[in-house]
Chain A
Amino acid sequence: MTDHALRELYQEVILDHSRHPRHYGILDQASHKAEGYNPLCGDKVTVYLKLGADGLVSEIKFEGKGCAISQASASMMVEMLKGRTAAEADKLMQGFLHLVKGEDASDLPEDDRERLEVMGGISEFPMRVKCATLAWHTYKNAVEEGKNAVEEGAT
């Protein structure tokens, strides 16, 4: 039982993402960026975005340091957000937040739900949910506040 929960949490897909994060690094042409930080564990993540018309995520990358869960979650997030409209991305994020808290995520499109389901194991580990949501909150922050961050960084 215990082992089952652990194996669910640390599935191969998750470990693979954490060891080989996708779209990792700085995005030079970013229009938005934000830094996320979890003061409890010291996990850090920076999300870089290039937003097109009506908020289309045309490019997205991340970099950071942290536990397997936070790194895998960030890696899966950037992979899935690329090419989404603002509305689609919001919906995906809401669904993800429901999923990791063990709540109803049935409003997610089926293929998204299938891909994100590997993160569902986290709901058995309430102390770790913040690790999984750090990147997503940082993404949201980048969209809402991150334009200035890029401009300030450029000066």
Chain B
Amino acid sequence: MNAPQRIAASFNVEKARADFEILSRTVYGKPLVYLDSGASAQKPRVVLDTMRDFAQSEYANVHRGVHFLSAAATDRYEAARRTVQKFLHAAHEEEIIFTKGGTEAINLVSYSYLAPLTQPGDEIVLSVMEHHSNIVPWHFLRERAGAVLKWVDVGDDGSLDIEALDAAITKKTKLVAVTHMSNVLGTVTPLKEIVARAHAKGVPVLADGCQGAVHEIVDVQALDVDFYAVTGHKLYGPTGIGTLYAKRAHLKTMRPFNGGGEMIREVMKDRISYADAPARFEAGTPPIIETVGLATALDYLSGFDRAAVAAHEHDLLTYAREQVRQFNWLRVIGDAPGKGAILSFEADGMHAHDLATILDREGVAVRAGHHCAQVLMERFGVASTSRASFALYNTRADVDALVAGLAKARGILA
């Protein structure tokens, strides 16, 4: 197959690919075809270079010393906060709390915001397509505080049922926790509408933006969302760094998270007072180099015409969707209108892991398993799926390699 590469006018994929050194390597003698960016994206050279340069020229601990380097590092660290603020269109700097990732961001909301408010019988509304990181922290509240988890189903195409969600919000609901974009189905949820419905009943909304922030332009003010969790490594940034956006109105009532240095105002033998946000939630020495790396990654991504990147990714998804139609033994899971660039599927007589092993030997990296979404797997009656997820650096040739690999796997396994 030799598909023509249709390039969006303002996005040059070949030029972008050159920024990612790893894409030129081979795997088992075959060119790497990386279709697992939904798990973690590759890092452009500028991110790696900036992290190294920073470590070599401006590094020290932040907010601590009075010396030159400490001031320089603190400047970079706080500048990174403003970069994230801009990226998410947050109104205030202190609404950006650095965490070690999306998981910690959601756990922070569970522990600092919701736990103190939760009485036995209080409800948390979730969708069945949540990642475990947006399920388990709420299970903790179920176990420890008697919270009740209420699940909102998705349609057979993977669309969120907004009316069902609305109906699930009752007087007992303390929080709606929902993904912005499903890591399995690619479904993009109508977040603004969800927030409007929840707020109409006085209920705040947490959005898991680990996938959404990569593929959508996020404006937390326009969305009016209360909490928005982001991880850096899916955004072409390093691991170990993420962000919680928390609306200023909530910050004052949120109790401290981890205890340690940086998050206090005054510590005495018999009393303690805490720093204001965001420091209150950032105990200990943060991942400083990674934070600088995250800001660089966001600048990198923002340097593109995001709409053109989205159009490029959508083209890959549409092309892949068309190509796999030829396989009558393959079932795509998740076909919601406007979905993001993730293709999950199940193949008759071929287990996802066998398929992934054969694709791997063709140089094609896909994810196989339950994708940390076992509730969703149960909804669709599958134990696991294979998932190809597309990033800005993927091409139609990558899709062709996937499709050829699928045909080969069929030849071996079926």
What is the CB-to-nearest-CB distance from A34 to chain B, in angstroms, rounded to a whole number?
A: 19
| Chain B residues positioned under 8 Å from A2 (CB to CB) | 28-30, 361-362
Does the CB pair A7–B369 fall under 8 Å?
no
Q: Is B18 an interface residue (CB 8 A)?
A: no
Range of interface residues on B (Cβ < 8 Å)? 20 to 34
**Cβ A68 vs Cβ B413 within 8 A:** yes
A68 is contacted by which of B354, B361, B370 (Cβ under 8 Å)? Answer: B354
- Which residues of chain A in 1-37 are interfacial with respect to chain B, using CB atoms and an 8 Å cutoff? 1-3, 5-7, 9-10, 15, 19
Q: Evaluate contact between B361 and A128: CB separation under 8 angstroms.
A: no
B368 on the interface (CB 8 Å rule)?
Answer: yes
Given A2-B361, A6-B361, A125-B357: A41 and B29 interface contact (C-beta under 8 Å): no
Q: Chain B 362-383 against A: per-residue CB contact (8 Å), 1 yes, 0 no?
A: 1000001110001001000001
Contact A69 B412 (CB under 8 A): no
Q: Are A6 and B358 in contact (CB under 8 A)?
A: yes
A43 contacts partner chain B, Cβ-Cβ < 8 Å: yes
Contacts of B139 on A, CB cut-off 8 Å? Answer: none
Q: Is B353 an interface residue (CB 8 A)?
A: yes
Contact B352 A41 (CB under 8 A): yes
Min Cβ gap A66→B in Å is 6
Contacts of A154 in B (CB 8 A): none
Instruction: Report the minimal beta-carbon distance from A128 to chain B, rounded to whole angstroms.
Output: 6
Bound-state Cα–Cα, A125 to B357, Å: 8
Does any Cβ of A come within 8 Å of B351's Cβ? yes
Determine if B99 is an interface residue (Cβ-Cβ < 8 Å). Answer: no
CB of B413 within 8 A of CB of A10, answer yes
Structural contact, B30 and A42, CB atoms closer than 8 A? no
User: Are A42 and B413 interface neighbours, CB within 8 A?
Assistant: no
* One of A15, A43, A125, A128 near B413 (C-beta < 8 A): A15
Q: How far is the CA of A15 from the CA of B351 in the complex (A)?
A: 12
Asked whether B369 lies within 8 Å of A42 as measured between CB atoms, the reply is: yes
A40 at interface, CB cutoff 8 A: yes
Interface flag for A65 (CB, 8 Å): yes
Q: Which residues of chain B are near A66, meaning CB under 8 Å?
A: 351, 383
Q: Does A67 lie at the interface of the complex (its beta carbon under 8 Å from any beta carbon of B)?
A: yes
Q: Which chain B residues border A127 with CB–CB below 8 Å?
A: 357
Flag whether A131 is at the interface (Cβ < 8 A).
yes
Chain A contacts for B358, CB-based, 8 A: 6, 10
Chain A's nearest CB lies how many Å from the CB of B408?
9
Q: Select one of B362, B374, B383 contacting A43, CB under 8 A.
A: B383
List the B side residues contacting A19 at CB < 8 Å: 349
* Chain B residues in 8 Å Cβ range of A40: 369
CB distance from B26 to the nearest CB of A (A): 11
**Contact mask for chain B residues 28-72; partner A; CB cutoff 8 A; 1 contact, 0 none:** 111000000000000000000000000000000000000000000
Given A42-B370, A44-B383, A65-B383, output 19 extra A-B contacts at Cβ < 8 Å. Answer: A2-B361, A3-B361, A5-B361, A6-B358, A10-B358, A10-B412, A15-B413, A19-B349, A41-B368, A41-B383, A42-B377, A42-B383, A43-B383, A67-B352, A68-B351, A125-B357, A127-B357, A128-B353, A131-B353
Q: List 10 A-B contacts (CB under 8 A).
A: A7-B412, A10-B358, A15-B413, A41-B352, A41-B368, A42-B370, A43-B353, A68-B351, A69-B353, A128-B353
